[in-house]
């Protein structure tokens, strides 16, 4: 058998591990190490072994095809970036140690690129000149560096990782919106093709400036992001999502009560034997002008600090001394008897609550039945709370469900932030210089590999979706060296490879049990077991990894099924065709 495209297990560099690696906390990290897809080179730095590299390339190619399909053009920028460009954007000083900086022999400063906004803007300015050339979308699939404080979870949070980053240059917000929509649609297709169960979620632009952004979250318990989602299709990151809370009323007369030792909402609710949703939580801080701001949210919710900063004009928590200087007490703050200077902002859900259970601004005391508009007033009502499961869906009103997710991709509307800062303009139809309106769009390619494994594994190992598997099928001869089994297995592998399938063959002289265990660990989608007894009847056994289904099938019929699937496959449809043909 000479076909070089066939993966021969006897030659494959895929060292597997019998034991679970000690520091691997999640399935993808553990299984990619155990099955010989990756190895750790340093903290948060990984080598892709042949199997890992194959899967990574598959994901890259899916991304590439979907980018090319919407007219984005592939380029390759350097990972090494001159500091000057980061000074121009103002981000050299905006980032701390996460940005990996280095000097060359002439003492010129550089960084290892954590992202490429600066480089791409510098690339097109002065050369992309006329509105007639717009819009333009450029992308690359490249390594990125971010010195995470705590690299962990293998490929999910590493310091060196693969990203597809795309940037669009548009003449108007309208045009950018169109590119943004095209990209979002392409990202949905990428996630579908990669076999991910995902949700596009409302997110927060954070540091990067642009306000409109959407994250593509692969649902997984190992994910670091918390989401809420609804059967109507709505989903949001809890860092960003609108909160519609339902505080409850504790209907008692206004009274100050002694609450000795009570400092937390949980203690207060227990002390009064009421739900936490009947209490009100307070947080004190100062805004950018140094003004005292006191925030109130339902007791069963947390303050969302991004929303707080937006509502208050900046929000920084008071330290203990500052609180004392205002006569405020941690654990018993409330709206009754606040200093004159305090500006009070409360979650809008509390506007419907006529009586509040709150701190009395006196250690060891709380008020019950504090009357809104009588005992205290509120200056401003805002959406201040972190949304949580059980809150109402802002789209349809049903109760939201909670989930965790892995952020595999994100789309941003950048506007003119970078083009303005770096003087990147084009000539519009009236001959006027205008800054480009930009969007940027990222796919975490290596992280996507990990997300796929998080969603496609079981106690035996990985179960790759056909679209990203290191090969479609693995032929497993049970007795290597047997004068019938081995030639039959090799011919089958060869025939399938000739038809255009990606084929592996486990030609090692290992026991059947070892081969089965490794095949399941590695996760080939289809395993074809060639044994002496079956062959005598002209049959082989076909196993579908994802479901564990097994069928005995005549060799001739099997080859026909593969050929049929290939013949009738438009594009990539043979994957589904094949499985359906074989297992229905």
Distance of closest approach, residue 408 Cβ to ligand 9G3, in angstroms? 12
Which residue in 1, 70, 208, 257 binds ligand 9G3 (CB under 6 A)?
208
159, 349, 356 from 414: Cα distances, Å: 25, 32, 42
The continuous run of DSSP H or E covering 507 comes out as none
Kindly determine how many residues on this chain lie close enough to bind ligand 9G3 according to the rule CB under 6 A: 14
- Which of the 8 DSSP states describes residue 427? E
Instruction: Examine residue 574 and tell whether it contacts ligand 9G3 (CB under 6 A).
Output: no
The residue sitting closest to ligand 9G3, measured at its beta carbon, is 442
Distance of closest approach, residue 144 Cβ to ligand 9G3, in angstroms? 8
Close Cβ partners of 227 (under 8 Å, ≥ 6 residues apart): 199, 201, 217, 219, 235, 236, 237, 238, 241, 402, 403, 404, 405
Distance of closest approach, residue 445 Cβ to ligand 9G3, in angstroms? 12
DSSP per residue, 287-328: -TT--EEEEEEETTS-B-HHHHHHHHTS-EEPPHHHHHHTT-
Nearer to ligand 9G3, 224 or 379 (CB): 224
3-class DSSP state for residue 478?
coil
Other C-beta atoms closer than 10 Å to the C-beta of 430 total 7
For residues 195 and 96, is the Cβ–Cβ distance under 8 A? no
For residues 27 and 14, is the Cβ–Cβ distance under 8 A? no
Alpha helix stretches (DSSP H) within 371-484: 417-421, 445-455
Distance of closest approach, residue 69 Cβ to ligand 9G3, in angstroms? 19
Instruction: Write down the residue that tokens 């972190």 correspond to.
Output: 386
Query: Among 17-25, 192-200, 271-279, 436-444, which window interacts with ligand 9G3 (CB under 6 A)?
Result: 436-444
Instruction: Examine residue 95 and tell whether it contacts ligand 9G3 (CB under 6 A).
Output: yes
Distance of closest approach, residue 44 Cβ to ligand 9G3, in angstroms? 14
Q: For residue 31, give both structure tokens.
A: 């299984």
Other C-beta atoms closer than 10 Å to the C-beta of 175 total 17
Query: Among 93-101, 128-136, 393-401, 420-428, which window interacts with ligand 9G3 (CB under 6 A)?
Result: 93-101
Nearer to ligand 9G3, 216 or 250 (CB): 216
Instruction: Examine residue 59 and tell whether it contacts ligand 9G3 (CB under 6 A).
Output: no
Which residue in 36, 44, 52, 114 binds ligand 9G3 (CB under 6 A)?
114
Alpha-carbon torsion (108, 112, 116, 120), positive or negative: positive
Nearer to ligand 9G3, 216 or 376 (CB): 216
For residues 465 and 198, is the Cβ–Cβ distance under 8 A? no
Nearer to ligand 9G3, 95 or 564 (CB): 95
Nearer to ligand 9G3, 410 or 527 (CB): 410
Distance of closest approach, residue 113 Cβ to ligand 9G3, in angstroms? 8
Nearer to ligand 9G3, 52 or 439 (CB): 439
Other C-beta atoms closer than 10 Å to the C-beta of 183 total 27
Instruction: Examine residue 410 and tell whether it contacts ligand 9G3 (CB under 6 A).
Output: yes
Nearer to ligand 9G3, 114 or 369 (CB): 114
201, 239, 260 from 264: Cα distances, Å: 32, 23, 12
d(C-alpha 358, C-alpha 302), whole Å: 15
Considering only residues 453 to 492 of the shown chain, the ones binding ligand 9G3 according to CB under 6 A are none
Binding mask 235-274 for ligand 9G3 (x = CB under 6 A): ----------------------------------------
d(C-alpha 189, C-alpha 574), whole Å: 17
Instruction: Examine residue 146 and tell whether it contacts ligand 9G3 (CB under 6 A).
Output: yes
Chain residues in the site for ligand 9G3 (CB under 6 A): 91, 95, 98-99, 114-115, 146, 165, 208, 410, 412, 440-442
């Amino acid at each position: 058998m000479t076909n070089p495209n066939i993966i021969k297990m006897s030659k494959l560099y895929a060292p597997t591990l019998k034991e679970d690696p000690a520091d691997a906390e999640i399935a993808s990290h553990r299984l990619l190490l155990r099955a010989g897809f990756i190895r750790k080179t340093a903290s948060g730095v990984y080598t892709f072994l042949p199997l890992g590299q194959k899967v990574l390339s598959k994901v890259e190619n899916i991304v590439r095809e979907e980018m090319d399909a919407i007219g984005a053009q592939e380029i390759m920028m350097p990972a090494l970036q001159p500091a000057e460009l980061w000074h121009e954007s103002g981000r050299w000083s905006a980032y701390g140690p996460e940005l990996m900086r280095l000097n060359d022999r002439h003492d010129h400063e550089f960084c290892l690129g954590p992202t490429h906004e600066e480089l791409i803007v510098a690339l097109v300015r002065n050369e992309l000149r006329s509105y007639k050339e717009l819009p333009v979308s450029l992308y690359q699939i490249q390594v990125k560096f971010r010195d995470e404080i705590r690299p962990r979870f293998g490929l999910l949070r590493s310091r060196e990782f693969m990203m597809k980053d795309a940037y669009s240059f548009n003449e108007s917000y309208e045009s950018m919106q169109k590119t943004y929509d095209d990209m979002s649609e392409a990202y949905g297709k990428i996630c579908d093709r990669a076999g991910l169960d995902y949700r596009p979620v409302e997110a927060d632009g954070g540091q990067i400036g642009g306000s409109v952004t959407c994250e593509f979250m692969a649902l997984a318990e190992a994910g670091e992001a918390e989401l809420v989602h609804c059967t109507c299709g709505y989903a949001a990151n809890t860092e960003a999502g609108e909160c519609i809370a339902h505080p409850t009323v504790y209907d008692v007369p206004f009274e100050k009560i002694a609450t000795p030792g009570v400092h937390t909402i949980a203690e207060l609710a227990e002390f009064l034997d009421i739900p936490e949703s009947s209490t009100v939580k307070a947080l004190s801080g100062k805004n950018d002008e140094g003004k005292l701001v006191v925030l109130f949210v339902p007791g069963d919710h947390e303050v969302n600090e991004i929303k707080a900063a937006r509502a208050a004009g900046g929000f920084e928590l008071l330290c203990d001394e500052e609180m004392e200087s205002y006569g405020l007490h941690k654990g018993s703050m409330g709206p009754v008897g606040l200093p004159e200077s305090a500006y009070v902002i409360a979650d809008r859900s509390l506007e419907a609550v006529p009586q509040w259970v709150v701190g009395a601004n006196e250690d060891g005391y709380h008020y019950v039945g504090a009357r809104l508009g009588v005992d205290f007033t509120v200056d401003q009502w805002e959406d201040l709370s972190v949304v949580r499961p059980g809150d109402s869906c802002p789209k349809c009103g049903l109760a939201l469900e909670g989930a965790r997710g892995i952020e595999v991709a994100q789309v941003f509307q950048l506007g003119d932030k970078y083009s303005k800062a770096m003087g990147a303009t084009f000539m519009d139809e009236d001959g006027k210089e205008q800054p480009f309106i930009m969007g940027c769009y990222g796919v975490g390619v290596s992280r996507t590999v990990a997300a796929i494994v998080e969603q496609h594994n079981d106690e035996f190992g990985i179960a790759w979706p056909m679209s990203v598997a290191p090969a479609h099928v693995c032929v497993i001869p049970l007795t290597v060296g047997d004068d019938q089994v081995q030639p039959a297995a090799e011919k089958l592998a060869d025939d399938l490879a000739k038809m255009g399938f990606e084929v592996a063959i486990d030609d090692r002289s290992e026991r059947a049990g070892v081969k089965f265990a490794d095949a399941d660990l590695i996760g080939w989608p289809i395993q074809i077991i060639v044994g002496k007894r079956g062959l005598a009847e002209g049959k082989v056994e076909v196993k579908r990894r994802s479901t564990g289904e097994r069928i005995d099938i005549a060799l001739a019929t099997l080859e026909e099924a593969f050929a049929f699937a290939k013949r009738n496959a438009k594009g990539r449809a043979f994957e589904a065709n094949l499985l359906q043909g074989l297992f229905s």
